[in-house]
Amino acid sequence: NPRWIALQVMLQVVEQGRSLDSVFQSDWFQSLPAEKRDLALSREIVFGLCRWYVLLESLLAGRLQKPLRARDRDIEIVLLIGLYQLLIMRTEAHAAVNETVKLALAQKKKWASGLVNAVLRGVLRDQLELGVDADAQAYPQWMRAKLQLDWKQQAAEIMIAGNQRPPLTLRLHTRTSDIESGLERLLANGFEASGHALVEGAIVLASPCDVTELPGFEQGLFSVQDAAAQLAAQLLVCAPGARVLDACAAPGGKTIHLLQRYPDIKLDALDSSASRLDRLRQNLQRTGHSAQIMVGDAAVTGDWFEGDLYDAILADVPCSGTGVLRRHPDIKLLRRETDIMSLCAQQAEILEALWRVLKPGGKMLYSTCSIFKDENENQVAGFLQRHPDAQEIPLKDANWGELRAHGRQVLTGSGNMDGFYYALLTRLPES
């Protein structure tokens, strides 16, 4: 039952603090004896419920005479699944109510079936609708306040974009195919697609699909990567023979792009997660590229650096992920306001460490998928103040995002892209 699967996934997210990625990649989920369409429906419910959880939880609280006990969190999520189907999926009322009542009974809590039935039928009777500020109310209060502080007039537009379903964007291997040929190949195999308006080599599919069915996917012709993420390899220009470090590299999207765009470089791919590096190895094998893979903390160079300085470094650092909420709506439930300060400290440590392994005259591209200024332009401003040997290379000529005091910011939804930040730095030669 797709609703039962959705309930089990949501319990792992809400009660155990697991990310959707980790649940969907788990042996439990992978071994479910469910039809493909049922798994697809369960994912639709889960992603949608994470996207609107904060708002629906507030609506539910207003319709309960007293809060549910902590041990009845499963029934709370059952009710939220019902509300999501009625208010957002617009599932036929009879089916939504009946299936949600069955879901409560499946939890072996007979008392809950009457509550579920009463709440959902009350919503139908009262013709409950989402308010005009629904998009903002779907964000945790602290996140909403920080977006309004950082972006003022743009905050409402950012929050609306963050609640939308993201496009399925591909990266074309442009050394083996031009964009016209790539589009023709997709169309000939029944996939409607168009070239991205701002990013060379990016292709947007008209509708989602199983990417393994794309012609040329297994050979590395196409890879899944948001258009904003594809900008990294374009910005970090690498000369033939250059020693390049992709720090925090897994699962390898940017690693592969660098190797495709600059085939003569010597690339080291570093990440602290051995399991995520397994996915990078798979991607390297699929696309026919090679790199030196290293397990280690980018902030602790003594564990992995062997003394040969790098010509170019991609510092795609851990961040709040607020720019990719469209793809990872569970961030709304898992991220806490207190995380931002610790993330900023971690980012600063990584920057300091990587700077020491960059050659004089070398370049470092600092990157996040965040839209918070503390992680982006403010982080770079602090770094430049601490390092007189660092100079920023302004990204003035780009046709995407907006130029900031330091670096360039893509806001969520701008150009139909995820939220990303880039700043390009160079280490001045020693005098």
Closest CA to 220 of 160, 277, 288: 288
Handedness of CA 428, 312, 223, 260 (dihedral sign): positive
The one catalytic residue among 50, 238, 344, 369? 369
Please state, in angstroms and rounded to a whole number, the distance separating the CA atoms of residues 168 and 184: 18
- Looking up tokens 């539910």, which residue turns up? 60
- Nearest residue to 140 via CA among 325, 336, 375: 336
50 is an active site residue: no
Phi, psi of 313 (to 5 degrees): -135, 130
- Report the DSSP pairing between strands 408-410 and 390-393: unpaired
The burial of 93, by beta-carbon neighbours within 10 Å (0-12 exposed, 13-18 middle, 19 or more buried), is given as middle
Are the beta carbons of 349 and 299 closer than 8 angstroms? yes
Half-sphere exposure of 108 (CA within 13 A, CB side): 0
List of residues 6+ apart from 173 with CB closer than 8 A: 220, 221, 222, 223, 260, 287
Which residues are annotated as catalytic?
Answer: 369
